[in-house]
Amino acid sequence: MLLKDDRQISGEGAVGSSPNAKRRKRVSDYNNSPVSPQQNAEGEMEKDLSGQSSDVQKEPDEKKPITEQNPGSNFRGKQTGKQGKNASSADGFKENYIHVRARRGQATNSHSLAERVRREKISERMRLLQELVPGCNKITGKAVMLDEIINYVQSLQQQVEFLSMKLATVNPEQNVDIEQILSKDIINSRSDTRAILGFVPGSSSSHRFHRGTFQGTLPSISSTTPKYPLLPQTVLDNELHGLFQVGFDSCPAVDNLGSNGHFKPEL
């Protein structure tokens, strides 16, 4: 009976990793926490993925070194060592136990695979997002990353609102040449998002300010955003550096506008 308990305990650690009702019902009295559930789960998962019930017999042998590592259960490790030899001989006795494990592996095989694939996909997308959102290279962890993403999207939307307000209040110049502006625009706005990040604190504070006292801020829109006129400078500086590298990229685009020869002297 003692042997059986040890076997159960050695396999018990895997319970925490997957919710299988059958596995939980098997456990009777269980005080000790023999192994870290992750290690067991790893071993279990490997076995699940690699083979079916034929590999099950190897499982106790594999679990043996894992249980021995645990400081709290040294003598149990020795006991499982004994069991390892007995495993093959006492197959019939432990048949029902192994059967449960196999069934568990089979039942959750597709589940675990699908979950693992899903998790892989999600982590891959999170990595993509990490590259998109500036300043998130050092962040590891989904929760913090999601917070950053949410903040970034909110700040972008706030910027859109602020800029649309600015565009609404500006006086239209009748002599604007659309093509010229577009060409300047496309070349100029190729900067990195660092410029935008510098803009954000100014925008959020002044935006709140605008909502409160709109009449008073109409003349002072330019004054409350001191960073704002600075941005084109940084944009142009970055632009000049990046222009020579990506000039050949923008050429096909600029050719469409027909102002290929113009932008360089303008800058």
Partner 1 sequence: MISKGATWNSNSCRIKFARRFVSALLHMRNRNTRPGSLTIEGVRTHTQRIKIAAYLSMAQAVGSRRAWSRAVLSKHGSRARRHSRMGRSSVGLKKTRVIRSYPPGELGQAKKLRQLVPGGKTMDMCSLLEETAHYIKCLATQVKVMQTLADNFSK
Q: Which amino acid is at 183?
A: S
* Least CB distance to partner 1 at residue 184 (A): 7
Q: Using the rule CB under 8 A, is 133 a contact of partner 1? A: yes
Stretch that binds partner 1, among 11-19, 21-29, 86-94, 139-147 (CB under 8 A): 139-147
Q: Give the span between the Cα atoms of 250 and 231, in whole angstroms.
A: 22
Q: Using the rule CB under 8 A, is 154 a contact of partner 1? A: yes
* Least CB distance to partner 1 at residue 70 (A): 29
Q: Give the span between the Cα atoms of 217 and 65, in whole angstroms.
A: 73
Q: Which is nearer to partner 1, 30 or 214 (CB)?
A: 214
Q: Give the span between the Cα atoms of 247 and 212, in whole angstroms.
A: 44
Q: Give the span between the Cα atoms of 57 and 178, in whole angstroms.
A: 76
Query: Residue 172: what are its φ and ψ, rounded to 5°?
Result: -75, 135
Q: Give the span between the Cα atoms of 162 and 225, in whole angstroms.
A: 11
Q: Which is nearer to partner 1, 33 or 155 (CB)?
A: 155
Task: Give the total of residues touching partner 1 (CB under 8 A).
Answer: 61
* Two structure tokens written together for 23: 């596995």
* Least CB distance to partner 1 at residue 23 (A): 21
Q: Using the rule CB under 8 A, is 197 a contact of partner 1? A: no
Q: Give the span between the Cα atoms of 247 and 252, in whole angstroms.
A: 9
Site for partner 1 in 63-122 (CB under 8 A): 118, 121-122
Stretch that binds partner 1, among 36-44, 85-93, 106-114, 169-177 (CB under 8 A): 169-177
Q: Pick from 91, 95, 185, 266: which binds partner 1 (CB under 8 A)?
A: 185
Q: Using the rule CB under 8 A, is 252 a contact of partner 1? A: yes
* Two structure tokens written together for 256: 């469409």
* Least CB distance to partner 1 at residue 108 (A): 17
Q: At what angle do helices 178-188 and 227-257 cross, to 10 degrees?
A: 110
Among 234, 239, 265, 237, smallest CA distance to 250 is for: 239
Q: Give the span between the Cα atoms of 242 and 191, in whole angstroms.
A: 8
Q: Give the span between the Cα atoms of 137 and 131, in whole angstroms.
A: 7
Q: Using the rule CB under 8 A, is 251 a contact of partner 1? A: no
Q: Which is nearer to partner 1, 14 or 187 (CB)?
A: 187
Q: Using the rule CB under 8 A, is 178 a contact of partner 1? A: yes
* Least CB distance to partner 1 at residue 50 (A): 27
* Two structure tokens written together for 200: 């954000």
Binding site for partner 1 (CB under 8 A): 118, 121-122, 125-126, 128-129, 131-133, 142-143, 146-147, 149-150, 152-154, 156-157, 159-161, 163-173, 176, 178, 181-182, 184-186, 188-191, 193, 196, 199, 214-215, 222, 231-232, 235, 246, 249-250, 252-253, 256
